[in-house]
Structure 1
Amino acid sequence: MSKALERREKLRSDLILAAEGMIADRGLSGLKTRDLARQIGCANGAVYNLVEDMDELILRVGSRTLHRLDEALSAAERAGAPSPQETLVRIAIAYCDFAAENLQLWRALFEHRMEADKVVPGWSIDDQMQLFRHIHQPLAALFPKRSPEQLGITARSLFSAVHGMVALGLEQKLVAVPLPALREEISGLVRAMIDGLIARAM
């Protein structure tokens, strides 16, 4: 690799890390090109020689966040559980804890909106969909007769329920729920949903 390419890759990496830090500190709305350029030591316009646009930059930061979330969910799985149902509970709690510990970066995953005519790149979609395996695998153990398509719908439904509780519970408003109570409520929700699905399958 030439020196010029090495410098560009270094600047690109610095830009993504700077954007990650800025979002973590200020939230997505606090991400400013001018501040990023100043932080990494380049001209304002040079930022767009490193990434296509702000959408790509935000998605690159999101990819890093998703990879760290993947690691947190994998660690919850490796901790071991007596049943697939309890594995799902541990994954849900790990998701809640990750969101609480990385609040602004986690929020940015869902707050970011691309323009209607722009397509989300395949690598970003892959990063998102990869996480569903953590839910899909224990569901497959619980419901071996279900098709992959049916399991996928159930996985998304379960995620949506947990995500909704986390999103509302971590709101810094009147609807906020103390984290220990939120963990308990999420555990109860996941167990109740799985018990209900098992009962329906009988």
Structure 2
Amino acid sequence: MSPRKAAVLREGDRSLHEHLVATTERMISEQGTAGLTVRAIAREAGVADGVLYNYFADKEELLAEALRAHVRSVERGLGELPEPGRGTIADNLRAHIEYGLAMHRAILPAFAGLLAQPKVLDRFTELGSPGEDWRDRLRDYLRAERELGRLALDAKVDAAAAMIVGVCHETVLTLLFQEVARPMAADDIDDLIAVVLDGIGTGLS
């Protein structure tokens, strides 16, 4: 281990790879991704610019790993999602929608800064595990409720999940790109739940 590497890691046990990802994640959280340079990351991490290329193929790989870490960090702060078979489906969907809205409000600024960098977004997608993302967990929740008989046997739950995710995306994008916009109100969430359940519910209260 070089003296420089020892200096930046002396207060913890994480590797330099982990240190670089954590540093970049913090910078993304604080200032977004637009204009984030290798030089700025290296300076913040306390290493020479070229050190990054000893651990990552390129800047895009580092940003993708840090972005994935940022999403996981945001989701940890949002708490647990409801389990299938517990509570009412309406209340559980409300929890999913509020979770999705909060998550997208927190992470969308970082993604917005990468719209012109599809390579980063592609690598971000590759780093994900099946069932890890919120949209996958929402879909899996609805599938489980269908298997439990709490939704209609022929419920188009994938379409229902896509509808909910789409509304969350549209709501947060509007807030991000328009100066005058309002958050999704409780009544709006209730209306979305009613529309979804009218399509996939059993017809029972």
Does 1:86 find its partner at 2:91? Answer: yes
Partner of 1:134: 137
Moved over 6 A (4+): 6-9, 199-202
Q: Would the aligned equivalents of 2:152 and 2:200 in 1 still touch at CA under 8 Å? A: no
The residue that corresponds to 2:197 in the other structure is 195
Residue type at the aligned position of 1:158: I
TM-superposed CA distance for 1:74, in Å, is 5.3
CA–CA separation in structure 1 for the residues paired with 2:35 and 2:134: 27
Report the Cα distance in structure 1 between the residues aligned to 2:194 and 2:122, rounded to whole angstroms. Answer: 37
SS of match in other structure, 1:126: coil
Does the CA-based 8 Å contact 1:18-1:39 persist in structure 2? yes
More displaced, 138-147 or 39-48?
138-147
Given the alignment, which residue of 50, 56, 60 partners 1:51? 56
> What corresponds to 2:161 in structure 1?
155
Gaps of 5+ in 1: none
Instruction: Tell me the distance in 2 between the aligned counterparts of 1:81 and 1:25.
Output: 37
Taking structure 1 as the reference length, the TM-score comes to 0.71
Q: Which protein has the larger Cα radius of gyration, Structure 1 or Structure 2? A: 2
Greater helix content: 1
Report the Cα distance in structure 1 between the residues aligned to 2:39 and 2:67, rounded to whole angstroms. 20
| CA distances 1:20-69 after superposition (whole Å, capped 9, x unpaired) | 12222222113111111112222112211121112211211222133234
What's the TM-score once normalised by structure 2's chain length? 0.70
Asked whether the 8 Å contact 1:88–1:138 carries over to 2, the reply is no
Provide the C-alpha distance between the structure 1 equivalents of 2:47 and 2:98, rounded to a whole number of angstroms: 41
How far apart, in 2, do the equivalents of 1:106 and 1:143 lie?
Answer: 32
- Closer, same or farther in 2 for the Cα pair 1:200/1:109, shift >3 Å? farther
Instruction: Verify the 8 A CA contact 1:88 1:190 in the aligned structure 2.
Output: no
Larger CA deviation: 29-38 vs 8-17: 8-17
Partner of 1:20: 25
User: Percent same amino acid among aligned pairs?
Assistant: 17
Question: How many residues are treated as equivalent by the alignment?
Answer: 188
Point out where structure 2 has 5 or more consecutive residues left out of the alignment.
Answer: none
